[in-house]
A and B are shown apart, each in its own frame.
Chain A
């Protein structure tokens, strides 16, 4: 038996999304910009998908721009706001220390171009308040960009409150909702978001397609030149099949949101309760304002990659905050942002669930993880030193 606990990385596609895509590969394969009837049929499908997405987000269809995914949407949102700000002489941006790299790296690029960026600290719990955002706003602030929910530790930010602050202070507000859409209620009106990013493959849609929502009146800057697609804001022949898959997956997720949240939250809480019994471990992220599908722990005395490899041997597909496998020796910036020392940050495990997660998978994880943690601790020199009292435990 295998258990898939890496839904924050990507999800299995739903049948509805797969079936929505199929006709657009070999039946209605026309280019949506072509004038012939097949092209126009593709165009109609595209506009239907746009209307579906808009309805699910509380937006209007003209505010939906299809992109290649969440990263592109984040890049475009931030660079567009920077352009708008620059024209008014406003070159200050506010964000949090634990954003996705699609946001952080774009902001670093802007810093090199003379923008200044405030990175709000996220504290031990891994969250920010609207008051902290308000206090950071300056005369020259052109953008606040804060994620709706964190991809590693699952904290859900007070996005509607942050949006209200930004609206009152007349500052553009973007939220990276890649981990939130399809998993918790997301409504651009309630959030008062001027821009929002999402990605289809995080909610059982296809990879390589996403959305940038931009409120009417927010002038987007093109990242890709070459055609008049997406009202001139995103050149390139539309990925009609992918977009149909995105719309179908979003519709499905929205229709079953409440029941899925309830089911997944129960499984999440069972995992958290079970793993909390492992001594010298800690649940990361906001314990209450938390994504239904996120479980994230640090285990003292062990390293994340070896944990993942042994879990994989036992059929559990998970991930860690550890950047070990990505070729960097630095532990996750998110875990450092919530105040963990490197030693603790290295020993992390993220289990991310979806509505396809079963009780059996959860039981397998609860059986295997404590054994694997114990096995690795038994060969760890720092664990020995701690148990022999030569070094203090850092986690209770």
Chain B
């Protein structure tokens, strides 16, 4: 199908980092079943570096591919770098997404932010609220 790029199809067919981390240091879930997309990201963090990451996704092909690509982009990276990951970067790494599927890359960015926020909150660590403005706003 020419609906998606080869890269999207590759990450959809062979998603990287699928699964669960039982003793995760941070977990982030975004989306809802009503809209047809739920993304859940699990992080293992050692010395402010993402040492392992897994995801579970309920959603369309681009949602699964976006999750897979996003986890690849942050694996082994310091938290500060992971927080800079934008949805645009995820979409670009996938060689683009159809306009009406861009929200899938937004979900991936938000799921990561939420998982990192969860890590900071669980461990009573200080964090810059401005960085999490989007996900904190949704909680209200």
Contact = CB atoms under 8 A, between A and B. Distances in A.
Interface of A: 301-306, 309-310, 312-313, 322, 324-325, 327-329, 331, 341-343, 346, 378-384
A381 B57 CA distance: 6
A346 B57 contact: no
Given A324-B60, A342-B34, A381-B58, 14 more contacts: A302-B58, A303-B58, A305-B61, A309-B61, A310-B13, A313-B13, A322-B36, A329-B35, A341-B33, A342-B35, A343-B34, A379-B56, A380-B58, A381-B39
A379 B64 contact: yes
Interface string B15-26: 100111000000
Main SS at interface, chain B: mixed
B56 A306 contact: no
Interface in B20-71: 20, 29, 33-40, 56-61, 63-64
Interface in B109-136: none
Given A346-B33, A381-B29, A382-B33, A305 B60 contact: yes
20 contacts: A301-B58, A302-B58, A303-B63, A304-B60, A305-B60, A306-B12, A306-B63, A312-B1, A324-B36, A324-B60, A328-B100, A329-B36, A329-B103, A331-B36, A341-B34, A342-B33, A379-B18, A381-B57, A382-B33, A384-B20
Contacts of B3: 325
A341 B33 CA distance: 9
Nearest to B60: A305
A303 B38 CA distance: 10
Interface residues of B, number: 28
Contacts of B20: 384
A304 B63 CA distance: 12
B62 to A, nearest CB: 8
A303 B36 contact: yes
A375 to B, nearest CB: 10
Nearest to A383: B58
A302 B59 CA distance: 7
A378 B56 CA distance: 8
